[in-house]
Structure 1
Amino acid sequence: MQDNIKLATRESPLALRQANIVKEYLLDNNVFNKIDIVAMSTSGDRADNETFKRNGGKGLFLKELENALIEGKAHIAVHSMKDVPARVNDGFLISSIMEREDPCDVFISNSYKSIEEISIGTIGSSSPRRQAMIKSLGKNINVVEMRGNINTRLKKLKNSNIDGIILAKAGLRRMEMDSLITQNLSVESFVPSPGQGVLCIECLSQHSEIMSKIKKIVHLNTEICVSAERIFAAQMDGDCMSPIGAHATIQKDLISITGFVATADGTRYIRNKIEGNKNNYKDLSTKLSNLFIKMGSKGMLKC
């Protein structure tokens, strides 16, 4: 069994930080003896906004890392689970790894104390889900595309005429930059992306023994919640550029799954939830999906 492995990651500062967090966790739990990090530039990092949307959105962040697995340049890859399409490519296995970081979105502004204070203004975000949620507030807020790593977006906020940006809290905390947060946005109002706040590991299906070792140290409730969220997203038949949110939490044996789907302009949306025993998360996610479909979610995603 493989004990000395290579770990592929994107080369952005946040991705490298996350890779090192996972590396330390695997070594501390004696899953592997030695781990070397292989940092790579991905199509998603290099693409402009139009290319990013046209060629698969967040899935572009995985392409080169999956090729590295196929070519034997790495044994495992680390991703932010929210960047992984709801349907994993054939030939690959994926699993969450550690306990979830805070999954909420946050508002950062140099001019306002909260997003509710803005009546007329401009907010930067490249996420269709966040864009739809901002527009659903019913205010005169213009949303502008804003991609790039955390530092790039913060620099754009400082040097442009926008009133704020929306980011994931988890990334800021991992980079020890959470002091910059103006406001935490509730997961009830801004339903997170499926898997937000979770790190995951991917490997080839033929290396199932590697995943078997990793599975022994997964955080079970995180794994259940992420699986529930991703089942919902997959059954919505959207893609990485669809305004879909899903968030699950567990209290004792009770799981609560919240879903969100909207039109791109945020004028129509569905937000609903379901609760039940956590052991029935697959059936609960499917029931929630069917409810959304009956309420017209698929038509919304085509708008």
Structure 2
Amino acid sequence: MADKQTTQAEIYHFLCEYYNYILSFKLVLKDEPNDLETLNLLKDAEVILDFWTKTDPSNIVNACGYIKSSNSYGKILGITQYDSENKKIESVDVEIFQEIDDENRVANIKFSDIKLRKTIDETLLKKTNKLECLFEEDGMWYLCEIIDVNKDLVKINYIDYNTVEEVRRDRLRIVTKTSENNMDESEEKIMTHNGYIIPKSVIVRPGDSAEVKEQKRNKLSKIKYEQKKMKRNEEIQSRVQSWKEHKKNIKKNTNNNKKYSLDEIKLSFIMI
């Protein structure tokens, strides 16, 4: 068991150390999945990490936060860099609540870029009370009703979708008239923080079956592929047009008796 004198800084240090051990072991197992020694080391490290996670009074692991640079929400998976000298968390791995970026859900982010959400007032956690809950699949806020409350989690039901989930207190907030990051049903399409224009119909919602989720993900992949292709074509057309204009300028200046060397022409093309 942890000594009563264990400081918060020491706990963060251990959380960082063992989380990085686990990342290293998992990397080895990608190439050698049957390496028994590494499998045993991984299990040991996971047990120790779980102990320090439960020991941490700040509950930093799995804490929900707002990521300022990407205007999105996510939860902390682990500390990747800790400055022991200054007792400061430098960076963390975060699972981003964005279905639209499913292939890049886990990102390493500077801790200073994250604003941790405050735990909702305990007096609001009463059965049948209505709140808003942050849904992990898409990072949106949905109306919910409290079913039960225990020490660590709150059992809620998404009212519009009749779906039950147990969540941490930092994923709940009081009901707002206009929920930020919640989509207006009158909107047919939205723009993601990466610049994709997507129809609201492909966003995964609470209560979607596994089959529906898969269908939406497939549709979303096709939409993103087409938009990437279109953007690339536009870039190519822009370069072609720039080159045409560049050739006109060369011809014009040549007619005005200005001579260009081959190296100058090549350099000009590279810079377009």
Normalising by structure 2, report the TM-score.
0.23
Normalising by structure 1, report the TM-score.
0.22
The higher-RCO structure (CA 8 Å, 6+ apart) is 1
Q: State which structure, 1 or 2, has the greater radius of gyration over its C-alpha atoms.
A: 2
